[in-house]
Structure 1
Amino acid sequence: MKEIEGLLNAAVTFASMEIAVHKRLTEGLEKVAEHIVQTAKDEIGFYQPAIGPFQDWAELAESTEADKARKGFPSEAPLLRTGEFRDTWEHETQGFEAVIGSKDKRALWFEFGTVNMPPRPVLGPAVVHNEHKIRKILGRAAVRGITEGVAIHKSLGYHRSI
């Protein structure tokens, strides 16, 4: 009988921890996605230095700067004309998955470049910039989930250790 109580105790402990960890990690992933989107938005309009595997942004072509000036857009502000492209960055999370990006068809061209345009990556560097924050947020979420799971287990009246 004691072995069954021990197994039941362990099962309840692990189930409580799994539920709490899942909840906290999904909340953490939402925060991570929000940080990455904000960083991506903040990069637009400013020349970005090299980071991680991503090269620094090349200067805009003189013809591009001339066109922007003629149309009244800010100069020396790569990927920024009206702010519309910047404002298209968004995220969606579901469970342990996050989709981060822009529905603007030009985002792919900007991120990887084209035959006529050098890459000016936004998403990749935004992730690299947030690497420390991502680890911190998800690490804290996991620890919080584990401790909450143990607390739930104890509140159910199971006090024996496994």
Structure 2
Amino acid sequence: MRKFHSFAAFADHLVQQAAQEVVALHEGLEIVVRRIERDAKDEIGHYQAAAGSFPAWEELADSTELEKERLDYPLDAPLERTLALQESIGREVGSLEGVVASDSDVMVYQELGTERIPPRPVLGPAALRNEDLIKRVIGAAAITGVLGGAAPMLLGGYDFKTEDNR
């Protein structure tokens, strides 16, 4: 057990521990938010099954497919015409929060549906499908933040930073 020779030394140790925790959690958030962003972009153009409370994507209407064919867009590829929707998806990570979102009005219509089109949610399902990764990485990051270099030993050799390479 570590001993401190003064209250100032103990206070300094606590400040360092708190900073180490925030850094590790931020690194974990970067990993999971990047994965959610990638998966959301990858979902576009492929029919998606239901995920939690998010509905499965309905087949494209015949009129939509005819219009896509006329414009020489990929057929049987929901939400995919150009790369605009994929490119509209981005991520931001603060110190202890992360967001994956789109700046496209079209994405809002697709996520929620309209009177004429059924919802084809992208962002929520991408996060939900990564629930296990989120728990594993953020949990390991929290432990790493508290324990530092001893964490991988206690986690069976698992280093959350390797998730970034998958």
Normalised by the length of structure 2, the TM-score is 0.82
Q: Distance in 2 between matches of 1:16 and 1:81?
A: 50
Give 1:96 deviation, angstroms.
Answer: 1.1
Q: Specify the alignment match of 2:122 in structure 1.
A: 122
Q: Secondary structure at the match of 1:55?
A: coil
Contact 1:21 1:149 in 2 (8 A): no
Letter in 1 for 2:39: T
- Residue 74 of structure 1: aligned partner: 74
Query: Which contiguous aligned blocks of 4+ residues in structure 1 show a shift greater than 3 angstroms?
Result: 4-13
AA aligned to 1:130 is N
Structure 2 residue 76 is the aligned partner of structure 1 residue 85: no
Report the aligned-residue RMSD: 1.9
> In structure 1, how many angstroms separate the alpha carbons of the residues matched to 2:6 and 2:126?
47
Find the aligned partners of 2:6 and 2:120 in 1 and give their Cα distance: 58
Is the CA contact (8 Å cut-off) linking 1:24 and 1:144 kept in structure 2?
Answer: yes
Letter in 1 for 2:103: K
SS at match of 1:46: coil
Partner Cα separation in structure 2 for residue 139 and residue 8 of structure 1? 30
SS in 2 for 1:35: helix
Counterpart for residue 94 of structure 1? 94
Task: Report how far residue 6 of structure 1 moved.
Answer: 7.1
- TM-score of the aligned structures, taking structure 1 as reference length: 0.84
Identity %: 39
Which runs of no fewer than 5 residues in structure 2 stay unpaired? Answer: 151-166
Q: Once the 2 structures are TM-superposed, how far is the Cα of residue 59 of structure 1 from its aligned partner?
A: 0.7
Gaps of 5+ in 1: 151-162
Which residue identity does 1:85 align to in structure 2? L
Q: Deviations over 1:112-150 (max 9, x none)?
A: 101111000000100011000011111111111111299
Are 1:88 and 1:102, in contact at CA under 8 Å, matched by a contact in 2?
Answer: yes
Aligned residue for 1:154? none
Map 1:1-162; keep pairs closer than 5 Å. 5=5, 8=8, 10-148=10-148
Larger Rg: 1
Structure number with the bigger relative contact order (C-alpha 8 A, sep ≥ 6) is: 1
1:63-114 per-position Cα deviation (integer Å, ceiling 9, x unaligned): 1000000111111100001222112211011111222111111111111101
CA distance in 1 between counterparts of 2:28 and 2:135 reads: 10
